[in-house]
Amino acid sequence: MIALEHLHVISVIHQEGSFRKASERLFKARSAVSYSVKQVEEYYQIKIFTRDTYRPELTRNGKILFNRIQHLLSEANDFDTFARQMNSEVETELRISFSAIFPMDNVTLLLGRLKQEFPKTIIHIDIETASGERMLLDDLVDIGIYGGFEQDARVQYRRIDHCKLPVFISDSFPLAGEDQISQAELTEYPQVVVKSSYKTSPDSGILKEGIQWYVSDHNTKKSLICSGLGWGRLPMHEVSKELEQGKLIQLKTQNTMEVPVYVAKLKNKTLGPVGMTVWNFFND
């Protein structure tokens, strides 16, 4: 098998447009650059560059081979970076959970930062409901971003935000025309609740005296509430458009839950640079 170094030389010659410039960029003698090309051409019995023009140009077979060379060099570079990272303190993988009520814009900003600073780290993402702390304690994730009112002594927290969860009905809900809607009146209609994504615990704020419809995700919950089939709590940041259009109505007679949002990790777990970037991101 031909050495990757020789293939790299061919790539640089094509990029620079001459053997002389390639030798300068590679800090190699021009004879060494020519030797690399000769080695590849003789090994595969393919003429890669034509010498009939002032600048070396790829032959037809050279163009085909060059595309494969670029792919191979890219894969080799990725492997080299990944292997070196395994022996450094930079995590090769990081598992993060995000609460489904956490603003997705904040998630994408964070992931964009991770992609830029740690492009070779594999990121595993879980979107959870009412299970962020449980996933941490069971070591299913390395770091969690979630809302909650209780704190566990085994977990280290940093408060980064809060989420407002008012009660909403749609403009087509049977009681939509009434000025004051009591809690007793709401119990006659389904409260739409998202089931916990982990084990059996549902989310908080359930009116136990009433009827519940359980769904598996927040998009379905919002859809059912907007259709007038039930009522429920939704994050304020998710419904601004529907409120502006009058499709959703906030019930002022019902209290608004304000849930503190934390970035959290186990106290006995040390985070590497990638995890610490997540930990500090919202305080930057």
Give the domain CATH number at 33: 1.10.10.10
- pLDDT tens digits for range 145-196: 999 888 888 899 999 999 999 999 999 999 998 888 999 999 999 999 998 8
Least confident of 17-31, 60-74, 193-207: 193-207
**141/275 same-domain check:** yes
Q: How many domains does the chain have?
A: 3
**243/129 same-domain check:** no
**147/202 same-domain check:** no
CA Rg, the chain, in Å? Answer: 29
The pair of three-digit structure tokens given for residue 31, joined into one six-digit string: 């004879």
Alpha helices in the chain (DSSP H): 4-16, 19-26, 30-44, 60-86, 104-117, 132-137, 183-186, 218-226, 240-245, 273-281
> What is the domain extent for residue 98?
93-162+260-281
Instruction: Confirm if 130 and 193 have CB atoms less than 8 A apart.
Output: no
- Domain boundary (25, 55, 86) is at 86
The pair of three-digit structure tokens given for residue 30, joined into one six-digit string: 């021009």
- Domain boundary (55, 86, 117) is at 86
Global pTM reads 0.66
- pLDDT tens digits for range 69-128: 888 888 887 677 666 655 567 888 999 999 999 998 889 999 999 999 999 899 999 999
**271/133 same-domain check:** yes
- pLDDT tens digits for range 210-254: 899 999 888 999 999 999 999 999 999 999 999 999 999 999 989
**100/120 same-domain check:** yes
- Domain boundary (70, 86, 102) is at 86
